[in-house]
Structure 1
Amino acid sequence: MSELPVRPAATLILMREGEGAPQMLMVRRTRAMAFAAGAWVWPGGRVDKADELAAAAQAHEDAAFRIAAIRETHEEVGIDLGDDLDQLTPFARWLPNFNVERRFDTLFYLARAPEGAAIAKLQQGEIAEACWTSASAMLERIEAGDATAIFPTKRNLERLAQYASIAEALDDAARYPIAPITPWVEQRGGEDHVVIADDIGYPVTSEPLTSAIRA
């Protein structure tokens, strides 16, 4: 386990209605990135000082995180959500504690995409590609070896794959407290697994250590 400093971060799961299941905007990080290199994630990044200063005038306790999520989405893919922080719904908070070079305390948010929202650009040096996809379609790509994702992303994709609409996703997000999720390692069936609690809304709560990308 790591005692590295924790860096606050925010991620935005931007959603639009699709045929049979909502679609969400996902991005693939470049292989040059120090964290989750080459992996598929949602737009997001560290909360910076400017986010914290801007949050001082906001009512939300997590305003700096919401501001960071909106800012990072604009920087990474060029989609502007404006400054209405109420459009973001807290979904999860992940605080892994494995021995990695960077440790993040990340708040994940859900939001409806603005009407006609389109990928306008990709942030040079950080984002290799972006796409709209359903959660189940991305999970199929990961299973087939066509895409990679770190442990928290896979668990969130599995949770999101349960929803037939954005309304269902928002309703489910409200059912669970936004408490830190810190995976641990334990033996199951004679094999080490990365594990999370089984009562926080996730349909899959463990993965063999040999396949889990834990960054």
Structure 2
Amino acid sequence: MELNHETIDTPPRDSASVVMLRDGAQGLEVLLMRRHADSAVLGGAYVFPGGKVDAADASADMLARLDQPPALLHARLGEPGLTAQQAAAFFVAAAREAAEESGLLLLQRGDDEIALHSADACARLRAGEPLAALLAAHGARLDTDALAPWSRWITPRRPSVMNKRFDTRFFLAAAPPAQQTQIDDFEVTEARWLTPRAALQQYRAHEIDMAPPQIVSLLHLMQYRDVAQAMADARSRTPPLIEPQPVETPETRVLCYPGDADHPVPQRALPAPVPTRLLWRNKRFEPPQGFAEFID
């Protein structure tokens, strides 16, 4: 993954991403999906399921199929600058993109029949059937309560690894236990369930590629022992806003985050020991002290 040094003047595009979690034999595991090598956005990189917010995500038909009122979702997202409908659209986009890319469909708890047929439902989504119509056909509602707002990342005007800007809301979600991951082999070519430590070890070893938001998020996830603890923490606070600040040094390029001495926001957005900066070294982004103290 090469650095991008171009300045982009276009406003960031609203998007949503789901950090899908499950409890494994070695502890908390996270779903990472490899984007197709020819993808215009992070081709070949391992990412969390997600994508752009569509107009249909805020349609009246779609909002009528939610398990929670938009006003409540608006409060959970913690962004007063949005309308309730706009806030709800992020929840919808997160769930829709997760279903399309991972085959995991978040419906009301207890909808066992839909859970057992999630592969067919997700295939219909990939074929272009609107999510609202699919839910209406099954008499189901979207399980927005399964999504816990976790963080908000805005790509800087001088991005690090791609030539597009996004304003992404990240959500945590527990993988529905009755469903199996099913990739589309189009946008996504591989899926891996890994502990945060294993994912970072593979990244350090150049076995997988990742972008800075995934790297920092995995370092953050290492503090949780299981899904329940991660979800409880996410639900206890307002999602932090993270706007990386690129800094050039004579040796390399640095990405600084809130709380860093070279970032305009003095308060930490993420708890210690999550680093407040990443350095580009050996064709990898890594904490200033390296990965050893986190993953060895």
TM-score (norm 1): 0.89
Q: What is the one-letter code of the residue matched to 2:202?
A: R
- Aligned equivalents of 1:81, 1:103: Cα separation in 2: 27
- Aligned equivalents of 2:95, 2:63: Cα separation in 1: 16
1:1-215 correspondence to structure 2 within 5 Å: 1-53=7-59, 54=61, 56-57=63-64, 58-59=69-70, 60-61=73-74, 62-82=87-107, 83-99=142-158, 100-120=162-182, 122-174=183-235, 176-186=237-247, 191-198=252-259, 199-202=268-271, 203-210=274-281, 211-212=284-285
Q: What is the one-letter code of the residue matched to 1:95?
A: I
Do the aligned partners of 1:25 and 1:130 also contact (CA within 8 Å) in 2?
Answer: yes
- For 2:82, the equivalent position in structure 1 comes to none
- For 2:122, the equivalent position in structure 1 comes to none
Do the aligned partners of 2:8 and 2:164 also contact (CA within 8 Å) in 1?
Answer: no
Do the aligned partners of 1:193 and 1:206 also contact (CA within 8 Å) in 2?
Answer: yes
Higher strand proportion: 1
- Superposed displacement of residue 147, structure 1: 0.5
Do the aligned partners of 2:12 and 2:155 also contact (CA within 8 Å) in 1?
Answer: no
- Aligned equivalents of 2:168, 2:16: Cα separation in 1: 5
Higher helix proportion: 2
- Aligned equivalents of 2:229, 2:97: Cα separation in 1: 25
- Aligned equivalents of 1:143, 1:190: Cα separation in 2: 20
Greater alpha carbon shift after TM alignment, 95-104 vs 77-86: 95-104
Please say which structure displays the higher CA radius of gyration.
2
Q: What is the one-letter code of the residue matched to 1:85?
A: T
Q: How many residues matched?
A: 212
- Superposed displacement of residue 73, structure 1: 1.2
- Aligned equivalents of 1:3, 1:179: Cα separation in 2: 24
- Superposed displacement of residue 107, structure 1: 0.5
Q: What is the one-letter code of the residue matched to 1:74?
A: A
- Aligned equivalents of 1:179, 1:2: Cα separation in 2: 24
- The secondary structure found in structure 2 opposite 1:17 is strand
Q: 1:81 to 1:56 in 2, by over 3 A?
A: closer
- Superposed displacement of residue 175, structure 1: 5.0
Structure 1, unmatched stretches of 5+, are none
Q: What is the one-letter code of the residue matched to 2:12?
A: V
Superposed CA RMSD: 2.2
- Aligned equivalents of 1:176, 1:186: Cα separation in 2: 29
- Aligned equivalents of 2:201, 2:149: Cα separation in 1: 26
Give a deviation string over 1:18-47, Cα, whole Å, max 9, x none: 124211221000111111111101111001
- Aligned equivalents of 2:248, 2:166: Cα separation in 1: 25
Do the aligned partners of 2:29 and 2:193 also contact (CA within 8 Å) in 1?
Answer: yes
Do the aligned partners of 1:29 and 1:128 also contact (CA within 8 Å) in 2?
Answer: yes
- Aligned equivalents of 1:103, 1:139: Cα separation in 2: 24
Q: What is the one-letter code of the residue matched to 1:200?
A: A
Give a deviation string over 1:72-127, Cα, whole Å, max 9, x none: 1111122211211111001110001133531100001011111232113x224210
